[in-house]
Amino acid sequence: MITSIPRAAAIAALLFLAGCAAKRPIYETRPAPSAPSATTAPLLLPPPSPEPPALPSSPAPPAKPSENTAVVALLQKSQSQSSAGQWDAASASLERALRIEPRNPALWQRLARVRLDQGDYAQAENLAAKSNSLAGSDQRLRAENWRIIGQARSKRGDQAGARAAFERAERER
């Protein structure tokens, strides 16, 4: 009995050490980064500011839907799918575009329009509101979002809410 305790302790110690040896190290060595070439410039980002930048006093021109070619292609694809009445495919294309550019208010608005056409009025209203939250000073985009909200509310039977949304759309112009 006395010899079994040291033997059990030795086996436990060996198992413990074997378990530690099998683990990967926390810090792995990586090759040193190569020096930047003359064609690549380092990306310098300004420090984050605690306040959002002030909006310009004059209305900004409407923003382009995107400068990303993949997003533009997905937007065009969703427009052709919408024209063909393929609402599920159109919304899937827009959702893919939103995974690339989640802060693009034009994409949120387009998805709101597709949801409205699909008959998902509550979702259309929520997506148009999301677009409004990202629209900044783009009054035309916000006005169209309020029209989508008004149409969605009207379809759901909320005539007072629809009227308020359409009035807000007129004020945004």
* Residue closest to 90 by CA, chosen among 113, 57, 64, 70: 113
pLDDT for residue 67 = 84
Domains of the chain: 69-172 (1.25.40.10)
Burial, 106: exposed, middle or buried (Cβ in 10 Å; 0-12, 13-18, 19+)? buried
DSSP 8-state symbol, 138? -
pLDDT for residue 24 = 46
Q: Among all chains, which residue has been given the structure tokens 């379809």?
A: 155
3-state secondary structure of 60: coil
Interval 146-156: pLDDT, tens: 999 999 999 99
- Round to the nearest angstrom and report the end-to-end CA distance of the chain: 91
Percent of the chain residues topping a pLDDT of 90 = 60
Interval 27-86: pLDDT, tens: 444 455 555 444 444 444 444 444 433 333 333 344 456 888 999 999 999 999 999 999
pLDDT band at 7 (very low <50, low <70, confident <90, very high): confident
pLDDT band at 171 (very low <50, low <70, confident <90, very high): very high
- Single pTM value for the model: 0.63
* Residue closest to 63 by CA, chosen among 171, 137, 144, 149: 137
Q: What are phi and psi of 8, to 5 degrees?
A: -65, -40
Amino acid in the structure at residue 5? I
Q: How far apart are CA 75 and CA 113, in angstroms?
A: 13
Q: CA of 77: how far to CAs of 25, 60, 62, 107, in Å?
A: 47, 28, 22, 13
Q: Among all chains, which residue has been given the structure tokens 């980002």?
A: 45
